[in-house]
Amino acid sequence: MRDTVLELTDLQVEYGRVRAVQGLTLQVRRGQIVALLGPNGAGKSSTLRAISGVAPVRAGSIRTGGQDITRASAHEIVKAGIAHVPEGREIFTALTVRENLELGATTRGTTDQLDYVHTLFPRLAERRSQKAGTLSGGEQQMLAVGRALMSKPGILLLDEPSMGLAPIVIRELLARMKEIASEGLSILLVEQNAAVSLPLADHVYVMATGRLRASGEPGEFEDAAVLAATYLG
């Protein structure tokens, strides 16, 4: 389809005998925020890790911009414009904010990109010399997103960014995500929290135990509470 920047077709991810993802098909278009919802153990993180080249793909395909990246290396996938903000953030607490951001820079990233991240998250500019471990949870999540943006991606994979954050901090973070999507960046947003992701999403996929259970426009799901009660357990 025109404008499709990420396309999973019948993706299957297996760790030995554990079948984490058992045939997932989804598309993300340019500038879209696509929510991938599901309870714990649904296979959401495995999906993102497979896209990033760090979880074993058993079958199916992953394409970006006409390029088949199903068997590409993690490095090649970053070069293809995909950046991953992992569950739990995984920032380097003993390094400064600035050093963490520099680690995200690749051949795609430039000092312009650092300026862009600082404009998006002024807090990271203010705290550039501070050790990342001294930041609040919300600031650490901003740093994890900022680090991913340093590679100048076209697609951002976000794994449960709201986890452990206060509602007001989540709203602030997601407002920034909406802003970058409106500039043309595509976001695949993994969440267990339907209330957080529904208002933001252009399209919603719901998975459980490795399979797709539902998909549609956010408006097709009555509301976040019903969606959560039906699918998210």
Ligand X SMILES: Nc1ncnc2c1ncn2[C@@H]1O[C@H](COP(=O)(O)OP(=O)(O)O)[C@@H](O)[C@H]1O
Shortest Å, Cβ 208 to ligand X: 9
**What b/e readout covers 89-117, taking b as 16+ CB neighbours within 10 angstroms?**
bebeeeebbbebbeebbbebbeeebbebb
Check residue 140 for interaction with Mg ion (CB under 5 A): no
Query: How far are the Cα atoms of 11, 22, 52, 138, 183 from residue 59, in angstroms, in the given order?
Result: 6, 9, 15, 37, 33
With CB under 6 A as the contact rule, the residue among 6, 20, 97, 105 that binds ligand X is 20
C-alpha 12/C-alpha 24 separation (Å) is: 7
Paired tokens of 50: 């497979």
With CB under 6 A as the contact rule, the residue among 11, 37, 42, 80 that binds ligand X is 42
Question: Residue 18 binds what, of ligand X, Mg ion, none (CB under 5 to 8 Å, by partner type)?
Answer: ligand X
DSSP letter at 96 equals: B
Check residue 46 for interaction with ligand X (CB under 6 A): yes
Check residue 15 for interaction with ligand X (CB under 6 A): yes
Could you tell me which residues come within 8 angstroms of residue 175 by beta carbon, excluding any fewer than 6 positions away? none
Check residue 197 for interaction with Mg ion (CB under 5 A): no
41 vs 233, beta carbon nearer ligand X: 41
Shortest Å, Cβ 23 to Mg ion: 19
Binding site for Mg ion (CB under 5 A): 44-45, 87
Binding site for ligand X (CB under 6 A): 15, 18, 20, 38, 40-46
